[in-house]
């Protein structure tokens, strides 16, 4: 049973990292569930302080992921159309990797700009709002990635530390 929990937890860690880039998946909470599964094994001793702290952090970053892009858009005079354009641009970058790894940066900005232009903003205002929406989007994505990557590293460290107990039959 411990190996099954370890494998499922590891898979959830990877899904959590993907979720830091995909707007459909809540990356930090998914990664946290991976940590929880690791701590539910018989090999790893319970530490509710670590689980509680990492849960609060995961939920806090998830909430901030909604607040930061809105704040960036508002600060630079943007609209919801710019935020949605940024998300659509990200999906274009993921499913149509025309520009390779640079697409993850270029397409959300282009999407925010198009969203603002569709929202009937003049070019200067649309460019400024798209920049704010883009910066907010990048900030939220970066925060989610840092948390999920840190959880992954922590997961690996704890799994290695207790590997003798995890893999003993």
For residue range 98-130, list pLDDT tens digits in order: 776 677 778 878 888 888 888 876 888 888 877
The pLDDT > 70 percentage for the chain reads 95
Q: Torsion angle, CA of 109/111/117/121, rounded to 10 degrees?
A: -50
In a 10 Å sphere around its CB, with 0-12 CB exposed, 13-18 middle and 19+ buried, how is residue 49 labelled?
Answer: exposed
Cβ atoms of 139 and 66 within 8 Å: the answer is no
Q: Confirm if 51 and 65 have CB atoms less than 8 A apart.
A: no
pLDDT at 50: 94
pLDDT of residue 128: 83
pLDDT of residue 169 exceeding 80, the answer is no
Joined together, the tokens standing for residue 59 give 């939920």
Q: What is the pLDDT of residue 148?
A: 97
CA pair distance 24, 42, nearest whole angstrom? 33
Of 25-29, 54-58, 70-74, where does the model show the most confidence? Answer: 54-58
Mean pLDDT of the chain, nearest integer: 86
21-38: pLDDT as tens digits: 877 788 999 999 999 999
pTM score of the predicted model: 0.79
């Amino acid at each position: 049973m411990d190996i099954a929990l370890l494998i499922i937890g590891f898979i959830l860690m990877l899904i959590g990292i993907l979720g830091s880039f995909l707007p459909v998946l809540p990356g930090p909470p998914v990664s946290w569930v991976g940590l929880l599964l690791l701590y539910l094994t018989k090999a790893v001793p319970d530490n509710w302080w670590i689980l509680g702290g990492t849960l609060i952090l995961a939920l806090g970053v998830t909430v901030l992921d909604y607040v930061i892009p809105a704040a960036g858009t508002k600060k630079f005079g943007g609209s919801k159309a710019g935020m949605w354009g940024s998300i659509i641009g990200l999906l274009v970058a993921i499913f149509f990797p025309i520009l390779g790894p640079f697409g993850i940066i270029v397409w959300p900005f282009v999407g925010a700009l198009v969203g603002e232009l569709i929202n009937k903003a003049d070019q200067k205002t649309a460019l400024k709002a798209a920049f704010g929406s883009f910066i907010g989007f990048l900030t939220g994505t970066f925060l989610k990635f840092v948390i999920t990557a840190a959880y992954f590293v922590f997961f690996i460290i704890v799994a290695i530390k207790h590997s003798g107990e995890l893999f003993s039959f």
